[in-house]
Chains A and B, each alone.
Chain A
Amino acid sequence: MDTNIEGQIKNLQEQIDDLKKKVTGVENTHKDQLSLVVMSGELDRVLASMIIAVGAAAMDTKVKMFFTFWASASLRDKKKKGKGKDFMSKMFGMMLPKGRNKLKLSKMNMAGMGPLMIKSLMKKQNVMSIDEMFKQAGELGVEINICEMSMNLMGFKKDEMIDYPKLDYAGVATFLADAGESRIQLFI
């Protein structure tokens, strides 16, 4: 009889432990976290991404940005030079914008007039500049991941990317794992 009760208790304990694990799992699946894929390399789209990221971080949401493809060019530092590039990489490097201040607009670019007009309007209306947004994002702990594959494809070198507090390189699995835990996922 005694062994029977002990057995039952043990069984119940096991079930409780199992449930505890499941509850923790459920809690962890939906964090107050935003996963943002930034694929577009135009000024307007990168700006929108940064506004969302900074806004979310200001609301204490953890933000993980994943820059891929054309957007990776926006994270180049205009003052730095990537070393050891082959011919194709050099060509790509020349054709793609060298950093966030060289981005074009997706509409009304007008050979560079558009971005200048937008920037002067932003200043006039007290909208944070793109540089200021990156600075704020850094201070708020917004994480930026750059797609390793895009880096290789575009021929960018790590030594030509911006200095940013939480800058790292990752693959699609990192994004998927982070996105799976995030309450909000966006693709821009």
Chain B
Amino acid sequence: MTQEELNALEIAKSVDARGTACPGPLLEAKKAIGTINSGDIMEIMSADEGTKKDIPKWANKKGHEYLGTVEESGFFKIYMKKK
């Protein structure tokens, strides 16, 4: 997906994990995914570089779809679709 497409996604849940370092964002994402429905899209905001690799790995393991990452200044937004 292109950055524009990612930015235009309809998000069911946005998780702001910018206040935590590894493994905080993963933990917050795990907690939040239980609150959305199958097919919903979740956004995870993080400033922890490792999260960029961690979230796709976790999504892959759980069967969720990793859609892409958008860079912002000082943080980034990761998009994924719940299985």
Residues of chain A touching chain B, judged by Cβ–Cβ distance below 8 Å, are: 51, 54-55, 58-60, 125-128, 136, 140
A84 to chain B, nearest CB (A): 39
For B, the interface residue count at a CB cutoff of 8 angstroms equals: 14
Instruction: Give the residue name and chain of the A residue nearest to B58 (CB).
Output: A59
B70 at the interface (CB under 8 A from A): no
Contact of B30 among A51, A58, A125, A128 (CB under 8 A): A58
Residues of chain B touching chain A, judged by Cβ–Cβ distance below 8 Å, are: 19-24, 26-27, 29-30, 48, 58, 61-62
Contact of A55 among B19, B26, B48 (CB under 8 A): B26
Q: List 8 A-B contacts (CB under 8 A).
A: A51-B22, A58-B23, A58-B29, A58-B30, A60-B62, A125-B21, A127-B21, A127-B24
**Given the contacts A58-B58, A60-B62, A126 and B30 also touching, CB distance less than 8 Å:** no
A residues in contact with B58, CB < 8 Å: 58-59
Beyond the given pairs A51-B22, A126-B20, 4 more chain A to chain B contacts, judged by CB atoms under 8 angstroms and listed by A's residue number, are: A54-B27, A59-B58, A59-B61, A60-B30
Give the docked Cα–Cα distance between A60 and B64 (Å). Answer: 13
Consensus secondary structure, chain B interface? helix
Instruction: Give the residue name and chain of the A residue nearest to B20 (CB).
Output: A126
Check B21–A58 contact: CB distance below 8 A.
Answer: no
**Given the contacts A125-B21, A127-B21, A58 and B27 also touching, CB distance less than 8 Å:** yes
Check A59–B30 contact: CB distance below 8 A.
Answer: yes
A residues in contact with B24, CB < 8 Å: 126-128
Check B21–A126 contact: CB distance below 8 A.
Answer: yes
Give the docked Cα–Cα distance between A136 and B27 (Å). Answer: 9
Check A58–B22 contact: CB distance below 8 A.
Answer: no
B residues in contact with A140, CB < 8 Å: 27
Contact of A128 among B20, B29, B61, B62 (CB under 8 A): B20
Check B62–A126 contact: CB distance below 8 A.
Answer: no
B residues in contact with A58, CB < 8 Å: 23, 26-27, 29-30, 58
